[in-house]
């Protein structure tokens, strides 16, 4: 019988459980059907040895906590889990608030640094403008002095004009 191909319902009957539990086991273990006949999937019974072992344990082993055998214990367990999650949530919120406040401080510091930079740029622009105005005021005087200096230099370095052969008689 173990080499025989069976549908989910027959496997459930052979193991003494319901077909839904067999279906969940197939999904969890990702067991592929050996053969398909239309919509029916056929499996070997030997593929379900792990399910036999699991069936030896109480139904709680499939997805429920093992210690919660009654509804009251299950409710208490869920309440504890909710309280733990609430504490974790509050810690996350506190951490986010601290992060936001530190980012706000950083933003304010950067804002003040930007205002200092803007003041420095405006001061530098004013100084450059004043330097340019002074340069424009001094430029005509410097040009005039330069022309005089150049004319003196030209006079000193001026070579006598070369006389051509026809000018020697004169």
Q: Which range (3-12, 40-49, 140-149) has the least confidence?
A: 140-149
Q: pLDDT tens digits for 22-66?
A: 888 888 888 888 888 888 888 887 888 777 777 766 544 444 444
In a domain, 44, yes or no: yes
Q: How many CB atoms lie within 10 A of CB 53?
A: 10
Phi, psi dihedrals of residue 5, rounded to the nearest 5° = -90, 130
Q: Which domain holds residue 45?
A: 5-56
Q: What is the pTM of this model?
A: 0.34
In a domain, 51, yes or no: yes
In a domain, 101, yes or no: no
Residue 163, Cα to own-chain centre: how many angstroms?
88
In a domain, 30, yes or no: yes
In a domain, 12, yes or no: yes
- Contacts of 99-103 with CB under 8 Å at 24 or more apart are none
In a domain, 46, yes or no: yes
Determine which helix (DSSP H) or strand (DSSP E) holds 36, and give its type and residue range.
strand 35-37
Residue 94, Cα to own-chain centre: how many angstroms?
21
Check whether 106 has a pLDDT greater than 60. yes
- HSE (side-chain half, CA atoms, 13 Å) at 4: 8
Helices (H), the chain: 8-15, 19-29, 49-56, 71-157
Which of 100-128 are b and which e, b meaning 16 or more Cβ less than 10 Å from the residue's Cβ? eeeeeeeeeeeeeeeeeeeeeeeeeeeee
In a domain, 34, yes or no: yes
How many domains does the chain fold into?
1
Q: pLDDT tens digits for 66-84?
A: 444 578 888 888 888 899 8
- Contacts of 159-162 with CB under 8 Å at 24 or more apart are none
Mean pLDDT across the stretch 157-168?
72
Contacts of 40 (CB under 8 A, 6+ apart): 7
The confidence score (pLDDT) of residue 94 equals 86
Q: How many CB atoms lie within 10 A of CB 11?
A: 22
The confidence score (pLDDT) of residue 40 equals 85
Q: Are strands 40-44 and 35-37 parallel, antiparallel or unpaired?
A: antiparallel
């Amino acid at each position: 019988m173990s080499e025989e191909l069976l549908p989910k319902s027959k496997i459930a009957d052979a193991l003494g459980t319901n077909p839904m539990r067999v279906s969940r086991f197939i999904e969890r273990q990702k067991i592929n059907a050996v053969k398909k006949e239309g919509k029916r999937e056929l499996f070997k019974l030997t593929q379900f040895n792990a399910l036999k072992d699991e069936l030896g344990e109480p139904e709680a082993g499939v997805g429920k906590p093992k210690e919660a055998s009654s509804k009251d214990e299950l409710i208490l367990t869920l309440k504890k889990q909710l309280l733990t999650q609430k504490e974790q949530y509050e810690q996350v919120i506190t951490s986010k608030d601290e992060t936001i406040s530190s980012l706000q401080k950083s933003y304010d510091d950067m804002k003040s640094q930007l205002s200092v930079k803007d003041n420095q740029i405006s001061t530098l622009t004013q100084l450059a403008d004043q330097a340019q105005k002074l340069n424009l005021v001094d430029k005509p005087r410097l040009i005039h002095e330069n022309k005089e200096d150049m004319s003196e230099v030209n006079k000193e370095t001026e070579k006598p004009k070369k006389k051509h052969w026809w000018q020697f008689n004169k």
